[in-house]
Structure 1
Amino acid sequence: MSAYAALTTAGYRACTRDKTTLFFTFAFPLVFLVVFGLIFHGQTVEESGRPYINYIAPGVLSWGIGNAAVFSVGFTLMQWRRDDVLRLIRMTPTPLSAILASRYVLAIGIGAVQAVLFVSVSLLPVFGLQPAGRWPLVLPVLVIGITAFLAIGVIVGSSASTPEAVAAVANCLMVPMAFLSGSFFPLDSMPAWMQNLSYVLPLRYLNDGISGALTGDGTTGDIALSCAVLAGFAVVLCVIAARTFRWSDKS
């Protein structure tokens, strides 16, 4: 078995055996979808006239996927570095690319399951989401978005030295970003300064891309633009992640 396959298998087993992690990865974000979906059931946004579910479903899905990517790789790298697992791996022929690729594949798999789960719940009559014909374009948006947020997770995991630090830094990044990017409330109803600030946040473009593909809110060109901006974020963040990565707390 190759190093990549071994790391991927070990990561999968660790994820499925940790019930707490499974809950916060899948069930916890779904709670937000259910709560906001029930609160705003049957209501529309005054500024656009579109149902609230068209904003809530893509927004919460984007936040849940980004959150899972950041936290999963952040905690893993911090723990492996603290326990000298990374130092031991470095002493073998295993390249860094195999380590990161194994986490990347796991993040893509988790994101795909999250997307199916969220959309399935949103399609229930009580929520009433009606997907557009471009919904298959959700997949490339998810892949590019996960790449960007996985890089953020690598930066967090390489900088923090304790689980508490990882949680604090990741939450300080992801929670404000969720509100400022329109994951929980439509940006159309937010102040102008908040709408302008959202343009420098990657979650804004993940929201827009998924919303455009899933609900038809925007053209194919708009989805392509969101993917292009996300790809730009991913490149910059991957460069920063490569420069900040540490094999041990002593290096």
Structure 2
Amino acid sequence: MSGLLKLIAFDFRLYFRDWLTIFWLLVYPVLMLLIFGSIFGDQPVAAPGTRYIESYVPALCVMNVMSVSVFTLNINMITQRENGVLRRFRVSPLRASAVLASHAVQGVFLVLVGAIEIIAVAKIVWDIPVSASGLLTLFLCLLFGCIGFFSLGFAMSGLTRTAGGASGLAMVVFFPFLFLSGVAMPVTIYPPFMQRISEWIPMTYFVDLAQGVWQGSALTAFGVELAVLAGFAAVCVALAFLLFRWEN
């Protein structure tokens, strides 16, 4: 346990030396919020009495999980492998599970801080309603989604040898997920064939879950979404360990 705690402290120092981490965590989500919020913020959506911005906030929190997964965790794992850090860990008592757990702790911290920032900005600018129960349930859903999406990022880190290659792969995965899951714009405005494609993207169910609980629905109303995310997590966790590499 002491070795894992030291590894977590070590990784924290490395993570916050990287300006890309700060950008994807603190700058990009807020830019998305301000741009789309300024355009559509006060427009009504399907739920009576609900504005676009109120459904966009939880969707952005989900996007933050995705960006932390495929950019931050993925690229930092590869950077450590390129620099020989993981090779040195290999001769220590640390196991692969400890290395992945340490990175996951960093990821959870980034996701929660990013969510707090998004909600705070939306509250200040658009005065969105925020309840303690809604906030807690949203955070629980984000943590549940982190299991699958973090594992996806770890699995992706085993597919490329360089940080540049990882960035390219991350963009190939990130942007289709972003536009087809309902984060960038509602899925309902797409042609029918694109809506059918979105049904095969796990992030679509993650967005639906986060928006639903944020607007006051009970978790029990989202059995399908929870089942899809659980299945996605099981597959990605297996791939994360299968594709894990200590060195190139």
TM-score by length of 2: 0.91
Say yes or no: does 1:236 pair with 2:240: no
Q: Which amino acid aligns with 1:120?
A: A
Q: CA deviation at 1:57?
A: 1.3
Instruction: Report the Cα distance in structure 1 between the residues aligned to 2:221 and 2:33, rounded to whole angstroms.
Output: 24
Aligned length: 246
Residue equivalent to 2:154: 154
CA gap of 1:230–1:108, structure 2 versus 1, over 3 A, is same
Instruction: Report the Cα distance in structure 1 between the residues aligned to 2:187 and 2:113, rounded to whole angstroms.
Output: 27
Which residues in structure 2 correspond to 1:75-94 (within 5 Å)? 75-94=75-94
Instruction: Report the Cα distance in structure 2 between the residues aligned to 1:158 and 1:97, rounded to whole angstroms.
Output: 14
Residue equivalent to 1:173: 173
Which residues in structure 2 correspond to 1:13-28 (within 5 Å)? 13-28=13-28
Instruction: Report the Cα distance in structure 2 between the residues aligned to 1:82 and 1:233, rounded to whole angstroms.
Output: 28
Unaligned ranges ≥5, structure 2: none
Native 8 Å contact 2:24 2:67 kept in 1:
no
For 2:105, what is the secondary structure of its paired residue?
Answer: helix
Q: CA deviation at 1:227?
A: 2.7
CA RMSD of aligned residues (A): 1.9
Residue equivalent to 2:245: 246
Map Cα deviations across residues 48-81 of structure 1 (whole Å, 9 max, x no partner).
5642113321222211221112222211221222
Residue equivalent to 1:129: 128
Native 8 Å contact 1:82 1:161 kept in 2:
yes
Native 8 Å contact 1:152 1:237 kept in 2:
yes
Instruction: Report the Cα distance in structure 1 between the residues aligned to 2:122 and 2:227, rounded to whole angstroms.
Output: 27
What percent of counterpart residues are identical? 28
Residue equivalent to 1:33: 33
Native 8 Å contact 1:29 1:60 kept in 2:
yes
Moved more, 29-38 or 71-80: 71-80
Instruction: Report the Cα distance in structure 2 between the residues aligned to 1:71 and 1:41, rounded to whole angstroms.
Output: 28
Instruction: Report the Cα distance in structure 2 between the residues aligned to 1:61 and 1:140, rounded to whole angstroms.
Output: 12
Instruction: Report the Cα distance in structure 2 between the residues aligned to 1:94 and 1:105, rounded to whole angstroms.
Output: 16
Q: CA deviation at 1:219?
A: 4.3
Unaligned ranges ≥5, structure 1: none
Instruction: Report the Cα distance in structure 2 between the residues aligned to 1:152 and 1:18, rounded to whole angstroms.
Output: 21
Residue equivalent to 2:219: 220
Instruction: Report the Cα distance in structure 2 between the residues aligned to 1:219 and 1:198, rounded to whole angstroms.
Output: 24
Instruction: Report the Cα distance in structure 1 between the residues aligned to 2:223 and 2:123, rounded to whole angstroms.
Output: 25
Q: Which amino acid aligns with 1:57?
A: V
Residue equivalent to 1:52: 52
CA gap of 1:194–1:55, structure 2 versus 1, over 3 A, is farther
Residue equivalent to 2:66: 66
TM-score by length of 1: 0.90
Say yes or no: does 1:206 pair with 2:206: yes
Q: CA deviation at 1:137?
A: 1.1
